[in-house]
Chains A and B, each alone.
Chain A
């Protein structure tokens, strides 16, 4: 009988981590649907990026209110996880506060957890107020509706729930610790700067009832954490894990430097080579012409772009700084990322349903999710890339899709076609002769 709860705990733990593992595997498989791109160079700069941006939150604090509150929640999350270690050991072996013998350090740890839990509660409440009462514009843009909108609130409720349970657990524990002569296994350990104010609520209850409540809080807390962990896969909250690889693998080139399609380079070199045999079959090489130029669906994007989509936390900083969006155009960089993720998930489900192969579903990211009108509104100004707290580039996806529209579909807006014709014929985007290039020298 005494082992029942330990076994039950082990089962809950295995289910929690097992399901999490399966979903992580699915994410990795989905990200690998993207085409290969090498992002392993310059490891030093990559580690530095990760340390500064993901761990150090350097880009979060550019908007100080959200940034500082976010740091509180983030530090709280990391530090309180130390408590999780104790919870797991206690749960598996039927111990109680196994780390208590380390004495003063333990008191300090529990005390700081409590203060952080309170700070997290405050921060999360402010976040909730910003979303639901102050109604910040970026949380009310038309691109954020339905699940993504409630998702944000669910996360906040989850955090409130977990922090409250943590404090209630400590408060009931403290109440039992303080019973004269001692009670059951509740040894005197820890310091409780916050929950000491909650503990009096248990006065007048029977010791057995408080002990039952304490166990209830403990179970709800750990089960809550496991549920929350598994909620990540379905939620924008996945960023707490993926922000790290995402900043590591982010683009290190200057923001203005767009990639030169290698397949095009091979073709152009061949065209410009006077010694090339015009009738020869195209050489087959690693850089051979791909089946498609640019991207119309997620399989045409590279894996970093897909990782970007999973990492996006839908904060909307990109959209709120986008000049097109600010002037009422349809483009929203956040929507580009959310659409991409939605489409990856759809393709993933298709693969799951068809025993590991993708059966074409007559849908594509382009048109079914992202419209050409959105793509053509982009000024390629990099404001969205600059703003993103975790180095996502919506712009790279926009550019790859424009490439598809232009190179595969010849579907550029008419004036863009005229501009390109001018460059082709005159070497300038306007209809002026190249021979007139130096006329300015002699004009007044």
Chain B
């Protein structure tokens, strides 16, 4: 399937004198993490299917600086931000879509003050707009009647009030959206935010991702859906910890849509 992926870069677009409708910011996880790369590909498949004119920065993309900023390294963050802004502004980027809520938050909220003004949307919002405008249609197919629990990523939900787009998409699959006892503004972190992904947790009596996975498993889901590569990793680990990987899958919303489409 990957042979069929069409992934133009901004440089290629520029060479052809074209400006894409949207710049897809892949992010570090989406570029390098084996699990997250699948999410990236699923999203690209959908973009290809819907004939969306998009481009990636490719080797010109760099870390947004989010983990450095949350860890407290403002210097490194601003260095990253300003270098990225130079690249983005050089390509006259207007609209950016990303599948990573951390990139989304940083690009959307923290870059403007440093000179980076873009319309930034999360991939769930973008997918919803594709469906709403009829550029993409899906049928529930294999997810019909399946119980899908949605985990709100902190940097998508609480941080930016995006709660409905991912839920709308799940419902479009004719699936049964189930809510955890802690959801939306009261959602519980997966444990990876604030640069925690890159270090061991402080001593405690439990791992946060296990606590969160228990919330999800309480809803007796077939699938735990996430909209963040880091949440995906944490919940996948949590499901393994509970030895439930045989019957519960952790999937990104983009993967759900791509699979339903059977792209």
Interface residues of A (CB under 8 A from B): 253-258, 260-261, 264-265, 267-269, 271-272, 293-294, 321, 323-324, 326-331, 373, 376-383, 385-386, 399, 401-407, 412-413, 415-416, 418-420, 423-424, 427-430, 432, 434-444
Contact = CB atoms under 8 A, between A and B. Distances in A.
Interface string B222-259: 00000000000000000000000000000000000000
B110 A434 contact: no
Nearest to B27: A428
Contacts of A412: 71-73
A254 B161 contact: yes
A440 B37 contact: yes
B73 A381 contact: no
Contacts of A294: 72, 74
A419 B65 CA distance: 11
B208 A327 contact: yes
Interface of B: 2, 5, 7, 9, 26, 28, 30-33, 37, 40-41, 56, 58-59, 61-63, 65, 67-76, 78-83, 86, 105, 109-110, 113-114, 154-155, 158-161, 185-189, 191-208, 210-212
A441 B55 CA distance: 12
B2 A442 contact: yes
Given A326-B211, A419-B68, 18 more contacts: A255-B159, A256-B158, A257-B110, A271-B79, A326-B208, A327-B205, A329-B201, A379-B154, A399-B72, A401-B72, A406-B73, A423-B68, A437-B32, A437-B61, A438-B58, A440-B41, A443-B2, A443-B37
A324 B204 contact: yes
A432 B63 CA distance: 12
A423 B76 contact: yes
B189 A419 contact: no
B158 to A, nearest CB: 5
A369 B253 CA distance: 43
A254 B109 contact: yes
Contacts of B186: 321, 383, 386
Contact of B2 (A424, A435, A436, A441): A441
**Quick one: which of A272, A427, A444 has the most chain B CB within 10 A?**
A427
A415 B210 CA distance: 21
B74 A438 contact: no
A327 B211 contact: yes
Contact of A429 (B63, B86, B204): B63
Given A254-B161, A416-B198, A403 B191 contact: no
